[in-house]
Amino acid sequence: MPFGSNNDNGDYVFFDSIMTTLLPFAVLPLNPATLDNLQQLGYLHMTPIQAASLPAALAGKDLIAQAQTGSGKTAAFGLALLERLNPRRFAVQALVLCPTRELADQVTVEIRRLARALDNVKVVTLCGGVALRGQRASLEHGAHIVVGTPGRVMDHLARGYLALDALNTLVLDEADRMLDMGFFEDIATVTKQCPPERQTLLFSATYPEGIEKLAQQFMRAPEQITVAPPATQSLIEQRFYEVTRPTRFEVVAKLLNHFRPESTLAFCNTKQQCKDLVTYLQQQGFSALALYGELEQRERDQVLAQFANRSTSILVATDVASRGIDIKELSAVINVDITPDPEVHVHRIGRTGRAGESGLALSLAALYEMGAVGKIEQYQHQASTWYQLEELVPTSTQPLLPPMVTLQILGGRKEKIRPGDVLGALTADAGYSREQIGKINVTEFTTFCAVQRDIAREAVQKLNAGKIKGKSVRVRLV
């Protein structure tokens, strides 16, 4: 299909002009029910990675595709694996390996969405941190698609709970990240148990050495797909500010008071810097939380839930910890430290300005970081635009507060609570409107529910006085 051409390195590069004349999904040989479903989902045109990879993926070719979170990569492999799936055959026909549980959960949600129009497609998530028994039961009830982390998938294979002999499609999602986390051997072990005549689709934001090794050992004449640069990038406004080491945090606060973004992802190069910045921002009255590697899964879930449901304004994260987070409508990204790796910079700023929305990417650089800024300029073929710190005046007398507040309900999946039960308690019983209630996340033992700030205290009282699923519950403000 003439969506692009091969460049000097032999990589497939998507035509720039196609990005402006977007292609509909109907040009692909997809099931009519799937095409209808895509319309209903509001997926009217293919994203560049989808247009570049779907023709080859649907033709059964192995692919190595360069794609990042937010590019629509999940649908790129999801549509391909669903097209080949036979829902009447009760066996695992596709396996998606992901580096983290968050990513696996997101991929599962997206595949279920894409499969809505097909008969009864069962998707099972297999990740660590959850009892094996429940996962084994889900597998016994019949799974067509498994999404999981390499370690846990291997565990199920070793115990004989999972069989891959009917597998058609193997997907390695965020392969670079899986290699970073030391999963090469686990991936190899799992892959060796897949039938040799399968299709293998590898997605990766960057191409470290290990990718080539994976391709050589486990793929058949893979086509390389590069979509450069991301289509949304032009909608991202980049502003650079020169700072000194002692004033860096102050400048972050000034940026927040000036631009007043509703949600900001702030990147630091180290865990310690994250902790220090969050302490500083909290002291200044901002609603900020930190996300870094060594948080326990439960803490991480809570931090992410609070940021995604708009009850925390600022998430301060390291690059590694932030990978795989898919948060829509991120108004700003702040590079508190400049990363020495220009690819990482592009990845960071690509978190804002998604799905055609404009985004703000603010970068702070001290003199000793100018070399790194230079590398970024070369990589992006774009000079940096510098702005004066004096321009950063507060634009409101009100503190910057997030629009929502999170309530925690003690009780989760174990108590069979579902989002609908909480919504019912707040709307039908407590009398609030749907618009006053935000995201509801049910985890194993606890449920987080966002509500508008002005009703938060009263909502806690009403829930504590009422019932969910016929039982009294304990509710508190997070």
Q: Are the CB atoms for 18 and 231 separated by under 8 Å?
A: no
Q: Which stretch binds ligand AMP (CB under 6 A): 39-47, 171-179, 247-255, 396-404?
A: 39-47
Site string for ligand AMP, 105-144 (x = CB under 6 A): -----x----------------------------------
Residues 69 to 98: which contact ligand AMP by CB under 6 A? 69-75
What is the closest distance, in whole angstroms, from the C-beta atom of residue 77 to ligand AMP in the complex?
Answer: 9
Based on CB atoms, which residue is closest to ligand AMP, 97 or 473?
Answer: 97
Q: Which stretch binds ligand AMP (CB under 6 A): 38-46, 121-129, 223-231, 390-398?
A: 38-46
Based on CB atoms, which residue is closest to ligand AMP, 54 or 407?
Answer: 54
Q: Which stretch binds ligand AMP (CB under 6 A): 41-49, 153-161, 220-228, 340-348?
A: 41-49
Q: What is the signed CA dihedral for 123, 129, 308, 71, rounded to 10 degrees?
A: -50
What is the closest distance, in whole angstroms, from the C-beta atom of residue 372 to ligand AMP in the complex?
Answer: 27
Based on CB atoms, which residue is closest to ligand AMP, 198 or 351?
Answer: 351
Q: Is 43 in the site for ligand AMP (CB under 6 A)?
A: yes
Based on CB atoms, which residue is closest to ligand AMP, 281 or 349?
Answer: 349
What is the closest distance, in whole angstroms, from the C-beta atom of residue 14 to ligand AMP in the complex?
Answer: 14
Q: Of 13, 28, 30, 46, which lies in the binding site for ligand AMP, with binding defined by CB under 6 A?
A: 46
Based on CB atoms, which residue is closest to ligand AMP, 110 or 186?
Answer: 110
Q: Is 230 in the site for ligand AMP (CB under 6 A)?
A: no
Q: Is 47 in the site for ligand AMP (CB under 6 A)?
A: yes
Q: Write out the residues near ligand AMP by the rule CB under 6 A.
A: 43, 45-47, 50, 69-75, 110, 326
